Amino acid sequence: MVKKFIIGIDLGGTNLKCALLDSRLKIKAKSSVSTKSFDNQAKLICGISDTINKFILDQRLSRSAILGVGIGLPGPVDTLKGVVHFLPNIPGWREVQLKKILEEKIKLPVFMDNDAKLMTQAEHKQGAAKNYKNVLCLTLGTGVGGGLIINDLIYRGLDNSAGELGHLPLNENGPLCGCGARGCLETYIGNKKIIHDARKLFGPKITLEEVSALALKNDRKAVDFWSGIGKQLGLALSGIVNLLNLDLIVIGGGVSCAGKVLFESIRCTILSRAMPLQAKRVRIVKAKLGVDAGIIGAGYLVRERLEK
Ligand SMILES: [Zn+2]
């Protein structure tokens, strides 16, 4: 029997990750390139196709052994048509027919979706949300992304844009957000804001990993710092818990590594702010698949589309 592989791609703010997945969607090989030089539309598209072509060569694969390529993108995507509406960090990116362009360049079937949705599906199929029916998955990073599973199925909304928890408005007159609105959750707990606050408190060079390490050692200031972030996130989640009566909330992304103090603070806030029945029902756990979730989700996407 000929072995068939899938290539999974995760386009992030700093890196473009590429992985080879086997028929059970286990990662066989990985590579990563910096996206720093892909600062406009043409360079980014070439960057993606060159990376895939090089990866296929490096892995000594023939195209006939590859079922397809799945790509996770940090923006709203028409997953059926393969059109990327908008990418926040690429100026001028509007309604790009990325599927069509890439298929011509790499001569393989290409499928794409929003990265948070791919992470959500991966966690639901083989990660922390396996066997749960109603789940919110969050990624805490530069942006705050989210995906919803309702009755065991991903909930996409009319334009495949449901789940944007980062843009839940918390404050009418709050800071301006990347989405154009004010006072969104992301402006309070996105990486930029957290790092800015941490450096005011702990000195100009501190990293979030170091603040997490301090909290683990019970440093009072660090514990209070993460508790404060947990409170803000917990407050936003209380509304979602009341609205959806979820079984589970999965939290991933760099900030989720802050550890116990962050999760405890989120739990306490939900218990005190959401309605009692829903608050007691919901479990809050850390994502299981880590940085690979998006890539594994891209593998599921390819498999699902080809089966159809
Ligand atoms: Zn926003």
Q: What is the Å distance from ligand 1's center to 96 Cα?
A: 22
Q: What is the CA radius of gyration of the chain?
A: 20
Contacts with 54 (C-beta within 8 Å, 6 or more apart), sequence order: none
Predicted confidence at residue 104, as pLDDT, reads 97
- Residue 186 C-alpha to ligand 1 middle, in angstroms? 6
Write the pLDDT tens digit of every residue in 229-275.
999 999 999 999 999 999 999 999 888 888 899 999 999 999 999 99
Window from 77-81, 130-134, 178-182, 197-201 with minimum mean pLDDT: 178-182
The alpha carbon of 169 and the centre of ligand 1 are apart by a number of angstroms equal to 7
Mean pLDDT of the chain: 94
In 3-state terms, what secondary structure has residue 152?
A: coil
**What pLDDT digit, counting tens, does each position of 63-113 carry?**
999 999 999 998 889 999 999 998 877 778 899 999 999 999 999 999 999
**Dihedral of CA 250/255/260/262: which sign?**
negative
CA-to-CA dists, residue 38 to 30, 48, 74, 276, angstroms: 20, 9, 14, 48
Give me ligand 1 centre to Cα 167, in Å: 4
The pLDDT tens digits for 18-68 are 999 999 999 999 999 998 888 889 999 999 999 999 999 999 999 999 999
Tell me what pLDDT residue 31 has. Answer: 95
Question: Is 80 exceeded by the pLDDT of residue 2?
Answer: no
Q: Assign 3-class secondary structure to 19-79.
A: EEECCCCCEEEEEEEECCCCCCHHHHHHHHHHHHHHHHHHCCCCHHHEEEEEEEECCCEEC
What is the C-alpha separation between 141 and 166, in angstroms, rounded? 10
- pLDDT (average), residues 171-186: 92
pTM: 0.91
What is the band of 3 on the pLDDT scale with cuts at 50, 70, 90? Answer: low
Say how many Å lie between the CA of residue 14 and the centre of ligand 1. Answer: 20
Q: What's the CA-to-centroid distance between 144 and ligand 1, angstroms?
A: 9
Cα 82 to Cα 60: distance, rounded to the nearest angstrom: 28
State residue 267's pLDDT score: 98
Q: What are phi and psi of 282, to 5 degrees?
A: -80, 135
